Structure 1
Amino acid sequence: MTKILNDYSINPSTMALLPSRHFEYDTLVLEQDQELYVRKTPLQLIKKACLEARSSYDGRREYIMYKTNFRHRVPIPVNPSLQIHTFPTRTPNDFDCKWIFFQHIQSLQHAPSRKLSNEKSVITFKNGQTLGMGESYYLLERQVQKTGSCVLMIGGMNQLFTI
């Protein structure tokens, strides 16, 4: 039986927060070694994690917008001291918005064939796990670039190239 959690704390093992249309849970959490089901939305979990890291979601978002002029799908430094940075795949209030955690991305690829699915791209994480995405390769590549520039701005090269 699948265990459903009432709450979840984003941590360095969190790779992605995926919205779910399931009646018992709102988010599928992908961690490096497990999948978890949570009764809070991805955005609720992001906001809580920002507060736990001594700032608000809105404050972190406004800071990035001020420093970069990014206005859409703004990357969020959830907890820079723990090197936890994430980006939304859509407008954060969109139900289908997924949150991908930058530090776990190994590579992006175009989906092999769209004839059998709606996948347009594939994310490969550093642990070898893959995640098919409905978002275009170009959009995800741009989000990775934006997030990388935020990581450099906030924490420098040592955070961008940790192994």
Structure 2
Amino acid sequence: MRLHEEFELTPYTMSVIPIPYGSKTYSKIMELDNEFITPYRPVDIIKKSCRFYASSYAGRKEGTKELIGVSIKAPIVIDPLQSIYFFPTASSSKLHCAWISPEHVLSYERIDGITTEVVFRNKQRIRLQVSSNTFKNQMYKTAMLQTKMLQRSAENGRKNLFSTESELFQEAKEKRKVYRVTRRDWSDD
């Protein structure tokens, strides 16, 4: 398996799994058609990816708390434009915490009280140290976050549709012979 020094989450990333590497914890990245290792802990990959997409991990967690009221094992949106969402399987401070993209989860099954097998869309399977109930709850929390984000986006779209600028634009499409143009209309800001 290849070692990658630099990596950010993409829409093709399925999971970020902790793996022991000597006395350190590295991450195994599973993508739809690729797998590799990075010398960073899973939570560090998540934090780095939040920064890559112009936010911070703390800011994303605050956003989740604001939208769905969840602050423990909070799912986060990495990039809303590409619909990249991940959830932790445990507290992010725990060494066994993995991060999963629910977009790629085909199914999951209880193996025992503390182990769940996850099947991804590409039929790859992994076993995680998390109960199936916790895994299910994390999937639900992330779905709730996605729904709230979509609702906000749709709400903002409706607001923009009825804004003053939109009305001015629609008025300009009418077949009028005379238009009043002010200096403000030509400014760059």
Q: Quick check: TM above 0.5? A: yes
Quick check: 2:64–2:71 contact (8 Å CA) kept in 1? no
CA shift digits 1:19-69 (9 cap, x unpaired): 111138711111111210101111111111111111111001001112211
Q: Please state if 1:151 is matched with 2:146.
A: yes
In structure 1, distance between residues paired with 2:117 and 2:44: 25
Residue in structure 2 matched with residue 67 of structure 1 by the alignment: 67
Relative to its length, the structure with more helix (as a share) is 2
* Aligned AA (1:127): N
Unaligned runs of 5+ in 1: 157-163
CA shift digits 1:79-131 (9 cap, x unpaired): 111111000011111111100011111112122xx5xxx86221111111111
* Aligned AA (1:155): L
In structure 1, distance between residues paired with 2:49 and 2:16: 12
Quick check: 1:80–1:155 contact (8 Å CA) kept in 2? no
Unaligned runs of 5+ in 2: 152-189
Residue in structure 2 matched with residue 95 of structure 1 by the alignment: 95
> Matches of residues 32-47 of structure 1 in structure 2 within 5 Å?
32-47=32-47
| Aligned equivalent of 2:121, options 117, 126, 132 | 126
Moved over 2 A (4+): none
Quick check: 2:19–2:27 contact (8 Å CA) kept in 1? yes
Quick check: 2:18–2:25 contact (8 Å CA) kept in 1? no
Structure index of larger Rg: 2
TM-score, normalised to structure 2, is 0.74
Residue in structure 1 matched with residue 165 of structure 2 by the alignment: none
The total of aligned residue pairs comes to 150
